[in-house]
Amino acid sequence: MNTEFTPYYAVIFTSIQTTTTEGYAEMAQQMEDLAKQQTGFIGIDSARNEIGITVSYWGSLEAIKQWKQHTDHLVAQRKGIKNWYAYYNVKICKVEREYSFKERFN
């Protein structure tokens, strides 16, 4: 069992959409694909019902800063504010420990 753990960062993006969703799914997929290509990107989890929650994981605060300032991401942010989001919130957290469980199927 590997007991070493390297802390990393989570960017928690919560949102409520407007009634206008045209183009949103395509842009969200483009941003996920682009984020995966960035230095320091670790992974992503996402769910959407009435409230959307996307958590992206990064190796450093500098990687997060670079992603926030990426030209294509800036365009997506502006479109989100103008067209798709009635509300959004971003939290950046340091992950110092994690636990998981996976049921085994035979």
Q: Is the pLDDT of residue 2 over 70?
A: no
Whether this prediction's pTM lies above 0.85 is answered by yes
Cα gap 49→23, rounded to integer Å: 18
> Rounded to whole angstroms, what are the CA distances from 87 to 7, 39, 48, 76, 95?
30, 29, 14, 15, 25
Q: Judge whether 1 lies within some domain.
A: no
Q: Please indicate, yes or no, if residue 87 is contained in any of the structural domains.
A: yes
Residue 100 lies in a domain: no
pLDDT tens for 32-76 read: 999 999 999 999 999 999 999 999 999 999 999 999 999 999 999
Banded model confidence at residue 100, pLDDT cuts 50, 70, 90? confident
Q: What letter represents residue 85's amino acid? A: Y
Domain count, the chain: 1
Which residue segment(s) compose the domain that 63 sits in?
8-95
Q: What percent of the chain shows pLDDT beyond 90?
A: 87
Q: What's the start-to-end Cα distance of the chain, in Å?
A: 22
**Across residues 24-28, what is the average pLDDT?**
95
pLDDT band at 105 (very low <50, low <70, confident <90, very high): confident
Residue 73 neighbours by CB under 8 Å, 6+ apart: 31, 34, 35, 67
Q: What is the CATH number of the domain that holds 38?
A: 3.30.70.100
**What pLDDT does 103 receive?**
85
Q: Is residue 15 part of a domain?
A: yes
